[in-house]
């Protein structure tokens, strides 16, 4: 399927005079058919998020984004950026327009959950899945977005790479970089593979390459669950300052640079110069592994940190606490 997907792109570039639909229909029914089925099955669960703002001169303005129903009760996932500063928020789908309120916002991941202000009939939704593996490079992807305030429409791209940082900004957890376009109004749209599995939410554009970043499904589930239960996301705090160093074998290792006094790490007897080998049996080979392990660690719960101290290996149990504002494991 991937090979045929790439052939489609090549033909569209080499034969621009041909109608795109003719090219696609001729060479890629294995791509078009599942994409059409997924779009048809899920488009009714995708919504347009309309945010009304008051300008400084007193006049009104509107900004639109995308989102999708999380459950039959009408809860909607979208981006925090889409609703920032909004005086009123409306969810639009088909002929319907429902006023919504904010259930919770997580600025670390740029996710927001909305709920209808008034009782509404059951809404269509889809499963967020239970997988933890992200799509491999070159996996075909389908986004359903309400670009520039239009009705839900499909866009096809491919998975490019996993990424924890972009420029000077580091994400809270690994994101998926894709070739999916992210035009105005697209952030907040759901993304699927061509087997119909939800793989993440489109979060932000990369204008330099006409691509986008996706927050993976596993992270969406973790964040949405907390927002629905608590109105905020509860992150774990360990109390370590770390750095990346090359060990004697020429391999990179995550080294404890400092242990914050009176922190869970200090109470568990972690020491500066300890090399972190694993957290809850997840190997730690670099900063991305460390950030992901802490991101998914539940607060107020023990985690097992395996360290090398000199020539000895220790398995220490750290009982995390809720993350304090501005504090995180680096």
In which band, very low, low, confident or very high, does the pLDDT at 250 lie, cut at 50, 70 and 90? confident
- 15 pLDDT higher than 70: no
The secondary structure element, H or E, covering residue 167 is none
For residue 29, what pLDDT is reported?
Answer: 64
- Residue partners of 15: CB distance under 8 A and separation at least 6: 23
In which band, very low, low, confident or very high, does the pLDDT at 10 lie, cut at 50, 70 and 90? very low
Which residue, among 71, 34, 65, 38, has the nearest Cα to 51 in the 3D structure? 65
3-state secondary structure labels for all residues of 218-269 = HHHHHHHHHHHHHCCCCCEECCEEEEEEECCCCCEEEEEEEECCCCHHHHCC
Hey, which residues does 26 pair with through a beta bridge? Answer: none
Percent of the chain, pLDDT > 90?
72
- Residue partners of 324: CB distance under 8 A and separation at least 6: 237
For residue 12, what pLDDT is reported?
Answer: 42
For residue 326, what pLDDT is reported?
Answer: 55
pLDDT digits (tens, 9 = 90+) for 39-50: 999 999 999 999
16-20, 24-28, 154-158, 304-308: which has the minimum mean pLDDT? 16-20
- Residue 61, classed as helix, strand or coil, is strand
32 or 152, which is more confident: 152
Residue 178: other Cβ atoms inside 10 A: 25
In which band, very low, low, confident or very high, does the pLDDT at 14 lie, cut at 50, 70 and 90? very low
CB 313 within 8 A of CB 276: no
Residue pointed to by tokens 């220790």: 314
Counting Cα atoms < 13 Å in the Cβ hemisphere of 83 gives 29
The whole-number average pLDDT for the span 111-140 is 93
Give me the domains of the chain, ranges plus CATH numbers.
1-227 (2.40.10.120), 236-322 (2.30.42.10)
For residue 147, what pLDDT is reported?
Answer: 93
What is the greatest pairwise CA distance in the chain? Answer: 68
């Amino acid at each position: 399927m991937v090979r045929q997907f790439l052939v489609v792109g090549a033909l569209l570039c080499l034969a621009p005079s041909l109608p795109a639909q003719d090219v696609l229909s001729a060479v890629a029914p294995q791509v078009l058919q599942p994409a059409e089925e997924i779009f048809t099955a899920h488009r009714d669960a995708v919504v347009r998020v309309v945010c009304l703002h008051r300008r400084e001169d007193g006049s009104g303005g509107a900004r639109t984004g995308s989102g999708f129903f999380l459950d039959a009760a009408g809860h909607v996932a979208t981006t925090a950026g889409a609703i920032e500063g909004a005086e009123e928020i409306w969810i639009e789908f088909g002929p319907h327009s429902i006023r919504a309120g904010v259930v919770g916002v997580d600025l670390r991941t740029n996710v927001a959950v909305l709920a209808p202000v008034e009782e509404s009939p059951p809404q269509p939704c889809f499963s967020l899945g239970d997988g933890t593996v992200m799509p491999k490079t070159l996996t075909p992807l389908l986004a359903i977005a309400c670009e520039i305030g239009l009705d839900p429409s499909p866009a096809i791209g491919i998975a490019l790479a996993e990424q924890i940082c972009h420029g000077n900004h580091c994400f809270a957890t690994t994101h998926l970089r894709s070739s999916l376009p992210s035009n105005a109004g697209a952030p907040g749209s759901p993304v699927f593979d061509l087997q119909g599995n939800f793989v993440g939410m489109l979060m932000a554009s990369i204008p330099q390459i006409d691509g986008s970043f996706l927050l993976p499904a596993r992270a969406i589930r973790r964040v949405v669950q907390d927002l629905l239960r608590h109105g905020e996301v509860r992150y774990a705090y360990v109390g370590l300052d770390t750095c990346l160093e090359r060990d004697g074998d020429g391999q990179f290792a995550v080294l404890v640079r400092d242990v914050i006094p009176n922190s869970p790490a200090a109470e568990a007897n972690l020491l500066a110069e300890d090399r972190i080998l694993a957290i809850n049996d997840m190997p730690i080979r670099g900063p991305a592994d460390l950030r992901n392990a802490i991101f998914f660690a539940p607060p107020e719960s023990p985690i097992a940190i395996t360290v090398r101290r000199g020539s000895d290996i220790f398995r220490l149990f750290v009982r995390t606490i809720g993350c304090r504002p501005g504090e995180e494991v680096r």
